[in-house]
Chains A and B, each alone.
Chain A
Amino acid sequence: MATEIPRIELGDWIESGLNYLTSNYSGVTRGISAVTQTGINGLNDLLMWIPEWGLMAMIALLCWRVAGIRLGIGAVLGLALIWNLDLWDPMIETLTLVVIATLVAVVVAIPVGIAAALSERLYRVIMPILDFMQTMPAFVYLIPAIPFFGIGSVSAIFATVIFSMPPAIRFTTLGIRQVPTDLIEAADAFGSTTTQKLFKVQLPLSLPTVMAGINQTIMLALSMVVIAAMIGADGLGNEVWRAIQRLRPGDGFEAGIAVVILAMLLDRLTQSFRKTRKS
């Protein structure tokens, strides 16, 4: 090259930034790590403690009540297959990670989504950040997770939360912005405060859209916790990972099918939550 333009050391800067965070805020990260690990263990132990047939019956019953008898039967068949393939324990581990990651993501996403819907300025700041979060290859999040939280489930949760949060924020913002203006005018005309307007009009009316966002978040979380096996997360992803390392396609497909079954159950279940709330 004729002209010497120095290389921009973007990677170095990010790395030193991350180093700074890990060395100076290790107390914080260790705290988060401990709390999250306790949560994971607690939920995991609970789900493991319930006998397989008992949990199967409970999930099937839930599916039946919420989505109808067909999903109920589907749940029994699907879960029975997973049990039969000896993948029950990894399935529970994956489910635990998905549930916790989704909970954290939703708890953060909904207030952020509301704030972005109500403030035009915040909206303009948050939307590019969400674009960044969603387009960055998912694997990249795994790398900084390790220095923060070490190898294991907590890092998996961290990466999963970041990866799966954007749709919940986007849909919440969208849902609130979609509330018809004449309803907002009506709420204002009667003298509602901002809080009253939010809780009595905007949030109830945006609920179907928010639920769609949560559904998306769950699906993304599931896909991410499988990938997170690369940094030592337990569960079905780990089974797939092992199958790859040992070149055993049969084992890989068995675990993959278990993921598909879990995904279908979670998806249909949350979608029908949305529909029943709507009618």
Chain B
Amino acid sequence: MSEKRPVKIQVRGLSKVFGNQPKKALELRDQGQKRPEILEQTGQTLGLSNIDFDVYEGELLVIMGLSGSGKSTLIRCLNRLIDTTEGDIIIDGENIPTLSTKELLECRRRHFSMVFQNFALFPHRTVQQNTEYGLEIRGVDKAERTETARNSLKQVGLDGWEDAMPSQLSGGMQQRVGLARALANDSSVLLMDEAFSALDPLIRKDMQQELLELQHRMKKTTVFITHDLDEALNIGDRIILLKDGEIVQIGTPEEILTSPADEYVERFIEGVDMSRILTARHAMRPVRATAREDDGPRTALRKMSENGLDSIYVTSRDRKLIGLIDADSADKAVKEGQQSIDSLIHQDFRSVSPDEPLHNLFAMFSDKGFPIAVVDEERRLLGVVVKGAVLAELAEAGDN
């Protein structure tokens, strides 16, 4: 991403040592020692080492890593549920590691709400009371917080469940309450710690979709932790890959897939079903030739034969897609002496947006073998996809 985006949280040189001699561990780290050696020599665990990254305003940033990579530690350092050893975490000009207890409380209330892996709902409180919790401790008056909580419950599709106890709800619903509780707080950053990992796969997909929609609607800055690459690729605007407490790669899902930073990332993405990640944009070829709506059948036929095509897309002057002509009907029209191609244009083809996943395209190829048109929101023709290109793209991705 080349564009400059407003930064919400700035993390610089963040390190965390678990143990009572952090200085010693960091010294060894600076001498180039890695986590296992440091543990062996000092008994200190280097949880995070020299982490630098930005969280942009309004983005959904995914921090991904296997267990032990330090991702849970990292997210807890952001709101200081875990104290950092060194480094800065700056949110709106405040450096979180240096805040006093009182300032930290205020900062947590204003900036952070959190969703937990095992939901962490208060079992003695109703759904409504759980949702109100953040507002209640801030001293928001009863009427207002009831209203706000009801709204957030509605947003996650739980209206009517206000008086239920958490234990009466399914896992998916409990996590919706967790999400509603976080949303009701209206903090500026949403922290999600493996929020969907405890849910079964189908519910999980639904929740990811809903989170995407919510995030799209509310533009809430979100930091999402997961160990699941599919999930990261599905929801992340950007992904940070973490290994042994260090950042391996930061990038968009595409960047990570197409140019993995090292072997570790490569091994990680091996298991990903590429046809779900790659989109029509990747397989699309530029259009070699198009017919104009005022071309005659003869011109159209010539353009086809010059480019070795069986069919040709017809576009208006501003490149908007009008329809398709195939060679057989153009040939017939020439023989019959027709002057216009209007009657030859048909709509017997599929058009998709460039973001359509490749795996959806397979079913779209018609028997006649017309290429699929890729169009933007204004139906301008961006390119075409032929069956061979999809397979080639997948094969290539598989090789990498």
A-B complex is real: yes
Instruction: Tell me the A residues contacting B by CB distance below 8 Å.
Output: 180, 182-183, 185-193, 196, 200-201, 204-205
| A-contacting 9-mer, from B103-111, B203-211, B270-278 | B103-111
The list of the 5 closest CB pairs from A to B, nearest first, reads A191-B109, A191-B108, A189-B114, A186-B120, A182-B120
Taken together as a complex, chains A and B put the C-alpha atoms of A200 and B81 apart, in Å, by 19
Taken together as a complex, chains A and B put the C-alpha atoms of A202 and B108 apart, in Å, by 20
B123 within 8 A of partner (CB)? yes
Taken together as a complex, chains A and B put the C-alpha atoms of A187 and B121 apart, in Å, by 10
**Considering the complex, which residues of chain B in the window 118-135 have a beta carbon less than 8 Å from any beta carbon of chain A?**
118, 120-124, 133-134
Query: What are 25 A-B residue pairs whose CB atoms fall within 8 Å in the complex?
Result: A182-B120, A183-B120, A183-B122, A186-B120, A186-B121, A187-B133, A188-B81, A188-B108, A189-B108, A189-B113, A189-B191, A190-B109, A190-B185, A191-B105, A191-B108, A191-B134, A193-B105, A196-B137, A200-B122, A200-B133, A200-B137, A201-B122, A204-B124, A205-B122, A205-B123
On whether the beta carbons of B105 and A186 are closer than 8 Å, the reply is no
Taken together as a complex, chains A and B put the C-alpha atoms of A182 and B134 apart, in Å, by 16
Residues of B within 8 A of A186 (CB): 114, 116, 120-122, 133
Taken together as a complex, chains A and B put the C-alpha atoms of A188 and B76 apart, in Å, by 11
B53 within 8 A of partner (CB)? no
Taken together as a complex, chains A and B put the C-alpha atoms of A192 and B113 apart, in Å, by 12
Residue in A closest to B112 when the chains form the complex, CB atoms: A189
On whether the beta carbons of B106 and A205 are closer than 8 Å, the reply is no
Residues of B within 8 A of A182 (CB): 116-118, 120
B188 within 8 A of partner (CB)? no
B138 within 8 A of partner (CB)? yes
B279 within 8 A of partner (CB)? no
Residues of B within 8 A of A190 (CB): 108-109, 113-114, 133-134, 137, 185
Residues of A within 8 A of B134 (CB): 190-191
Given A190-B109, A190-B185: A185 and B120 within 8 A (CB)? yes
Taken together as a complex, chains A and B put the C-alpha atoms of A204 and B129 apart, in Å, by 14
B79 within 8 A of partner (CB)? yes
Residues of A within 8 A of B117 (CB): 182
Taken together as a complex, chains A and B put the C-alpha atoms of A186 and B177 apart, in Å, by 13
Given A185-B116, A186-B116, A188-B81: A193 and B122 within 8 A (CB)? no
Residue among B81, B117, B124 with max Cβ neighbours from chain A (10 Å): B124
On whether the beta carbons of A205 and B124 are closer than 8 Å, the reply is yes
On whether the beta carbons of B137 and A193 are closer than 8 Å, the reply is yes
Given A185-B81, A185-B116, A186-B116: A191 and B124 within 8 A (CB)? no
Taken together as a complex, chains A and B put the C-alpha atoms of A56 and B134 apart, in Å, by 48
Residues of A within 8 A of B116 (CB): 182, 185-186
B72-102 vs A, CB cutoff 8 Å, 1 = contact: the mask equals: 0000100101000000000000000000000
Residues of B within 8 A of A196 (CB): 137
Residues of B within 8 A of A201 (CB): 122
Residue in A closest to B134 when the chains form the complex, CB atoms: A190
Taken together as a complex, chains A and B put the C-alpha atoms of A65 and B111 apart, in Å, by 48
Taken together as a complex, chains A and B put the C-alpha atoms of A57 and B79 apart, in Å, by 57
Taken together as a complex, chains A and B put the C-alpha atoms of A183 and B105 apart, in Å, by 17
Residue in B closest to A183 when the chains form the complex, CB atoms: B120
Residues of B within 8 A of A183 (CB): 120, 122
Taken together as a complex, chains A and B put the C-alpha atoms of A180 and B113 apart, in Å, by 19
Residues of A within 8 A of B105 (CB): 191-193
Residue in B closest to A203 when the chains form the complex, CB atoms: B124
**Considering the complex, which residues of chain B in the window 171-226 have a beta carbon less than 8 Å from any beta carbon of chain A?**
185, 191
Residues of A within 8 A of B124 (CB): 204-205
Residues of A within 8 A of B108 (CB): 188-191
On whether the beta carbons of B106 and A191 are closer than 8 Å, the reply is yes
Residue in B closest to A193 when the chains form the complex, CB atoms: B105
Residue in A closest to B129 when the chains form the complex, CB atoms: A200
Residue in A closest to B113 when the chains form the complex, CB atoms: A190
Residue among B113, B118, B120 with max Cβ neighbours from chain A (10 Å): B120
Residues of B within 8 A of A188 (CB): 81, 108
Taken together as a complex, chains A and B put the C-alpha atoms of A190 and B136 apart, in Å, by 10
CB distance from A6 to the nearest CB of B (A): 44
CB distance from A176 to the nearest CB of B (A): 14
Residue among B79, B81, B121, B137 with max Cβ neighbours from chain A (10 Å): B137
Taken together as a complex, chains A and B put the C-alpha atoms of A193 and B185 apart, in Å, by 16
Taken together as a complex, chains A and B put the C-alpha atoms of A168 and B79 apart, in Å, by 36
Taken together as a complex, chains A and B put the C-alpha atoms of A192 and B109 apart, in Å, by 8
Residues of A within 8 A of B113 (CB): 189-190
On whether the beta carbons of A191 and B122 are closer than 8 Å, the reply is no
Residues of B within 8 A of A187 (CB): 133
Residue in A closest to B130 when the chains form the complex, CB atoms: A186
Taken together as a complex, chains A and B put the C-alpha atoms of A180 and B106 apart, in Å, by 24
Residues of B within 8 A of A191 (CB): 105-109, 134, 137-138
Taken together as a complex, chains A and B put the C-alpha atoms of A189 and B137 apart, in Å, by 12
Taken together as a complex, chains A and B put the C-alpha atoms of A204 and B105 apart, in Å, by 22
CB distance from B338 to the nearest CB of A (A): 72
CB distance from A79 to the nearest CB of B (A): 35
CB distance from B314 to the nearest CB of A (A): 58
CB distance from B240 to the nearest CB of A (A): 21
CB distance from A228 to the nearest CB of B (A): 38
Taken together as a complex, chains A and B put the C-alpha atoms of A188 and B134 apart, in Å, by 10
CB distance from A211 to the nearest CB of B (A): 14
Taken together as a complex, chains A and B put the C-alpha atoms of A188 and B120 apart, in Å, by 12
Residues of A within 8 A of B81 (CB): 185, 188-189
Residue among B106, B107, B133, B136 with max Cβ neighbours from chain A (10 Å): B133
**Considering the complex, which residues of chain B in the window 273-291 have a beta carbon less than 8 Å from any beta carbon of chain A?**
none
Taken together as a complex, chains A and B put the C-alpha atoms of A193 and B108 apart, in Å, by 11
CB distance from A120 to the nearest CB of B (A): 14
